[in-house]
C-alpha cells in the first residue's frame, strides 16, 4: 500500500512539474482578442467570430444569425411604431 501511495505522489509531482514548465516555457505571440456583447442574448463572443450588423450608424455584433435577425425585426417594429 505504501509503494502504491508513493507511486501516486511521484506521478502527481511529475505532472505538476511538467505543467509548470509548460507555463513558464517560451512565450506565445498570441494577440489579445476583444470580446463583444450580443445585445439580444447577452453572450460575449470574440469580435473576429461575431456577425456584424450596422443599425442607425452603430456597429453591433451578434453571436448568431438568429440573434441578428431578432434584433433587426425589433428595430423595424420600433421604427414602424414611431
Residue range 17-65, pLDDT digits in tens: 655 555 555 566 666 789 999 999 999 999 999 999 998 889 999 999 9
CA distance 57 to 39: 16
- Residue 32: strand, helix, or coil: coil
Query: Is residue 6 domain-resident?
Result: no
CA distance 10 to 6: 6
Q: How confident is the model at residue 81 (pLDDT cuts 50, 70, 90)?
A: confident
Query: Is residue 47 domain-resident?
Result: yes
CATH of the domain at 74: 2.30.170
Query: Is residue 20 domain-resident?
Result: no
Count up the domains in the chain and report the number. Answer: 1
Q: What is the DSSP letter of 68?
A: H
Residue 57, domain extent:
35-81
Query: Is residue 21 domain-resident?
Result: no
Query: Is residue 53 domain-resident?
Result: yes
**Pairing relation of β-strands 58-62 and 35-37?**
unpaired
Q: How confident is the model at residue 80 (pLDDT cuts 50, 70, 90)?
A: confident
Query: Is residue 30 domain-resident?
Result: no
Query: What pLDDT is stored for residue 2 in this prediction?
Result: 74
Amino acid at each position: 500500500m505504501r509503494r502504491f501511495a508513493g507511486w501516486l505522489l511521484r506521478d502527481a509531482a511529475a505532472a505538476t512539474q511538467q505543467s509548470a514548465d509548460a507555463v513558464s516555457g517560451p512565450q506565445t505571440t498570441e494577440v489579445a482578442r476583444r470580446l463583444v456583447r450580443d445585445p439580444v442574448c447577452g453572450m460575449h463572443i470574440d469580435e473576429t467570430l461575431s456577425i456584424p450588423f450596422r443599425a442607425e450608424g452603430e456597429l453591433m455584433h451578434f453571436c448568431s444569425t438568429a440573434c441578428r435577425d431578432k434584433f433587426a425585426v425589433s428595430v423595424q417594429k420600433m421604427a414602424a411604431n414611431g
